[in-house]
Structure formats: structure tokens, C-alpha cells
Amino acid sequence: MPDAYCNLGIIESERGNHSKAMDCFTLCLKEQPRHFEAHYNLANVYAEIGNYPLAKIHYQMSIEIEPEFPNSHFNLGLTFAMNKEIEMAIRSLVKYKDLAIEADEGLVDELINGLMRTIK
């Protein structure tokens, strides 16, 4: 049943129904608290609506469950940047770069360099 809730959440998210998507992901997590996809997708919804503190929590949970999934690190890096946690953003983006097989290194390097300029 948790996978069904997660799949419904993804569908609702793609339709732009953020409230319904969050409800579905939350129901999934109620039944299976360590459901990777639910944490990751819930984080994406929170980031999309600008709730970066909650997005950060769920990206961190997704990384705790699946530490080798590169996109969690990339999105967490962006979330840290939006929260003005620049050093943490850089660390997350570097980790993404290390894990991603087909990372657009130019884009990631540009993001990292831009963030580094803000702390100098």
C-alpha cells in the first residue's frame, strides 16, 4: 500500500496538486517511514512551493536511506543555497558530482564557483 500512496503522490505532484501530493506522500510515510521515494518526492514538492526547511529535512532523510542517489545531493545543495547555507550547499553539490555518472560538470562547477564567490 505505501507504494500506491507514493505513486498517487507523484501523479498529483505532476498535476500541480501540491496539497494532495503531500497528503499521499505523508500517508505513504505513515505506513513505511523509511520509504525513500516518498521522502525524495515530498522534498521536491516542498522545494517547489518554497518551503525549504521541510524540503531540507526530507532530502536529508532520503540521503540517509539511499546515500548513493545523486539527485538527492544535488537538490539538497540547491535547498541549502536557498537557505543561505552556502558551505553546506557546496558540500552537497561536490558530493553530487562525485556520485553522478552523467553529471553536467560544467553546470555543477558553475554553481559551486558562484556559491564560493558569495562566501569570499
The answer on 62 and 41 residing in a single domain is yes
Which of 31, 26, 11, 98 shows the shortest CA–CA distance to 57? 26
Instruction: Indicate which CATH number applies to the domain containing 13.
Output: 1.25.40.10
Does residue 55 sit in the same domain as residue 89?
no
Domain match, 60 and 74 both: no
Q: Which residues span the domain enclosing 9?
A: 1-66
Residue 16 φ/ψ region, left for φ over 0, alpha for ψ in the -120 to 50 degree band, beta for the rest: left
The secondary element (H helix, E strand) that includes residue 61 is helix 52-65
Supply the DSSP symbol for 103.
-
Based on the fold, state whether residues 78 and 105 are members of the same structural domain.
yes
Do 29 and 9 touch, CB atoms closer than 8 A?
no
pLDDT in tens, 22-48: 999 999 999 999 999 999 999 999 999
- In this structure, the answer to whether residues 50 and 106 fall within a common structural domain is no
Same domain, 101 and 43: no
* Domain closes at, from 23, 40, 66: 66
Same domain, 62 and 72: no
Once rounded to an integer, what is the mean pLDDT over residues 51-59?
Answer: 98
- Asked if 4 and 60 sit in the same domain, the reply is yes
The alpha carbon torsion through 1, 58, 44, 33 (nearest 10 deg) reads 0
Burial code of 34-59, b = ≥16 C-beta within 10 A, e = fewer? Answer: ebbbbbbbbbbbbbeeebbebbbbbb
- Predicted model pTM: 0.91
Q: What is the pLDDT of residues 65-106, one digit of tens each?
A: 999 999 999 999 999 999 999 999 999 999 999 998 776 767
Count up the domains in the chain and report the number: 2
Which of 66, 95, 112 lies at the terminal end of a domain, its last residue? 66
